[in-house]
A = this chain, B = another copy of it.
Amino acid sequence: MSELRRDPIGGRWIIVDTDHPNRPQDYEYEPATWKTGSTCPFCYGNEALTPPEISSVRDPHTHANTPGWQVRTVPNKFPALQIEGLIDRRGVGIYDMSNGIGAHEVIIETPYHGKDIPELLDSEVENVISMYCQRALDLARDRRFKYLLIFKNYGPAAGASLEHPHTQLIALPMVPKNVKEEIDGARNYFEYRERCVFCDMLRQEIDDKERIISENKYFISFCPFVSRFPFEIWIMPKKHIACFCSTSPEEISALASILKDVVTRTKKLFTELNYNFIIHSIPVNLDTNPEGYHWHLEFMPKLTRVAGFEWGTGFYVVPTPPEIAAQVLREEKLSYSI
């Protein structure tokens, strides 16, 4: 019989197929391939094709918007939200609306069109994550912004519109619904038990062992007991800390290493994989910080499609139990150690 599992943060149920679990080879997913195409605006030498850069990691004595960079942040050419203007919240009959104020930046992870995280050096991944922190800290100084979302779409099925590996950062003038739910869930748990729900998850995962993939001094990666997607992976700091921006240089190095490990294992198992990852962190510029929150990264391989059942209920059907997913990922032979 299948198992129903309920997550202790948002109260979401999932259905895990424990009777006939899917093995990696059972997934027929759309490969992350692209129609060969037009000039890539993110490639080395094409710096003039993007809006002027906001920040970069680059060789000394090279100039902005010219070659010489390793990581480059530019405004999104087609931003979902604009940085200039007034928010102007107002009612329209029974509805609420406001102007689309916010920021929408693109972090180009590497000058090389075909290199994703597994193909980068550890130090290069470290530069990318340092850039996330730096941009988030800078945008947080704008008091209009209440939430900063850092996320990556890799592959067309994961919603990427360009092939060249990149991450996006969106600053929002309000705390979005999904974040509010997660924070409220964590706060309710904290008020009831006086403990952080994420720390409790971590403790239970460490005790159970079977869902852990890898770990280092500061971070642990595991397939959560209540995964929404098959082969979903969370990377969590071992220390209870609410804000991603507070990550120290030493921790950034450890995060780069475990992120590369996780993406490499998953892409060895599923070639041409489309995936998303999202950094879940605390809102910014709040008067009081909610208790019991713990930042983490959620990595979601795109192996299944969301259909009517998921839209209608918020339930997710998971064809591979996380226990099996973690075991398979742990057993992937890697040519290096983290």
- Residues on A lying within 8 angstroms of B by beta carbon are 1-8, 10-13, 15, 17, 20, 78, 80-82, 85, 92-101, 147, 149, 151-153, 156-160, 168, 170, 172-174, 176-179, 181, 197, 200-201, 204, 207-208, 225-226, 276-278, 280, 300, 305-309, 311-315, 317
Contacts and interface: CB of A to CB of B under 8 A. Distances in A.
A8 B159 contact: no
Q: Among A17, A95, A170, A277, which residue has the most Cβ atoms of chain B within 10 A?
A: A95
Contacts of A2: 80-82, 99-100
A10 B121 CA distance: 44
23 contacts: A1-B85, A1-B100, A3-B98, A4-B98, A5-B96, A8-B95, A17-B80, A20-B78, A80-B317, A94-B197, A94-B200, A94-B204, A95-B225, A147-B313, A151-B308, A153-B308, A158-B307, A170-B309, A177-B314, A178-B311, A178-B314, A179-B313, A276-B311
Given A80-B309, A93-B207, A177-B313, 20 more contacts: A1-B82, A2-B82, A2-B99, A3-B99, A4-B97, A4-B98, A11-B177, A12-B177, A94-B197, A95-B225, A151-B308, A158-B307, A159-B306, A160-B307, A170-B313, A172-B315, A178-B311, A179-B314, A277-B308, A278-B311
Contacts of A80: 2, 15, 17, 309, 317
Contacts of A314: 176-179, 181
Given A1-B82, A82-B2, A176-B313, A8 B96 contact: yes
Contacts of A197: 94
Nearest to A6: B96
Copies in the complex: 2
A178 B317 CA distance: 15
Given A4-B98, A176-B314, A314-B177, A151 B309 contact: yes
* Complex A-B, nearest 3 residue pairs according to Cβ-Cβ distance, in ascending order: A159-B307, A151-B308, A2-B100
Contacts of A93: 204, 207-208
Contacts of A10: 177
A225 B280 CA distance: 29
A276 B308 contact: yes
Contacts of A309: 80, 149, 151, 159, 168, 170
Contacts of A3: 97-100
A315 to B, nearest CB: 5
A226 B309 CA distance: 21
A2 to B, nearest CB: 3
